[in-house]
Amino acid sequence: MNVLDGKGLATQIKAEIALKVEAMVAQGKRRPHLAAVLVGDDPASHVYVRNKVRSCEKSGFESTLVRLPNTVTQQELMQKIHELNADDTIDGFIVQLPLPKHIDDEAVTLAIDYRKDVDGFHPMNFGRMALGLSCYVPATPLGIITMLERYGVETSGKSCAVIGRSNIVGTPISILLSRKALVGNATVTLVHSRSKGAAEILKQSDIIIAAIGIPHYLTADLVKEGAVVIDVGINRVEDPAAKRGYRLVGDVDYGAVAPKCSYITPVPGGVGPMTVTALLMNTLKAATHEIYK
């Protein structure tokens, strides 16, 4: 069994990005600049955004954190997005989800200039991704694809089950893995909450990507010998022994599943750090106008 060390790989890629940034600066160009909009006080969102800002610093990016209160109106948030769209010193920005209930997420996603949409959620980028055109691929799927590529995990001709069909993980990764690409050419089944016979599908799959948000959903009896298992889930479970009173677990029952796998990602230290790194990869592309001139 091989552990896909997302944390280690993320550190390596961030160092590679930092070298490219220093080369840009040496040529007199400005540093890539990522802005993050954080609305309200959701504790998990705070942690994610803090990690993104820290990673920017490690790669020599400039970063700006825009904090808005829970009570922000749709109009005020839209105004901030328009300002970020118009700011020539900012290459890309994200609006951290989830947003408060009174905010229309879809309107927010559509308001972001697709050329600065480094989360890849705008229909322009999502549509281009589905067509196999260059675009900002959503960060978590890009992180997974990058990890599979760097570790040389074969996907071509393999059967792959993706569990969960969210717009940010399950749906895009299912599209990417089925496309004709270096990491792709898999026969993908998207398993969701209404699927019938999910257990049989999972038991026959060479690759399983779990993205549902249910702690330890994927048990050893659902995984065949030699499978590749990618655990996207980040779930807080109560743990009185832990300093914060909780610990993070994935959607995979790691202890029981890992011995059966050829490759598996841990939680934490797997997909999470790769997601943040993928965001930096997209921001670097934005700064160098690699996708949109």
- Residues near ligand NAD (CB under 6 A): 140, 163-166, 168-170, 191-193, 211-214, 232-235, 271-272, 275
Q: Known catalytic residue: 52?
A: yes
- Identify the CA nearest to 119 among candidates 100, 148, 139: 139
Residue number with CB closer to ligand NAD (20 or 247): 247
- Identify the CA nearest to 114 among candidates 134, 141, 98, 144: 134
- Identify the CA nearest to 281 among candidates 52, 25, 37, 48: 52
267 and 248 Cβ atoms separated by less than 8 Å: yes
Residue number with CB closer to ligand NAD (153 or 198): 198
Active-site residue (options: 5, 80, 91, 96): 96
Q: Known catalytic residue: 119?
A: yes
CB of 269 to ligand NAD, least distance (A): 10
CB of 80 to ligand NAD, least distance (A): 23
CB of 198 to ligand NAD, least distance (A): 6
Active-site residue (options: 14, 52, 116, 285): 52
Determine the Cα–Cα distance for residues 81 and 121; give it in Å rounded to an integer: 14
Residue number with CB closer to ligand NAD (31 or 177): 177
Residue number with CB closer to ligand NAD (20 or 150): 150
Read out DSSP for 120-161? --SHHHHHHHHHT-S----HHHHHHHHHHHHTT---TT-EEE
Residues identified as active-site = 52, 96, 119
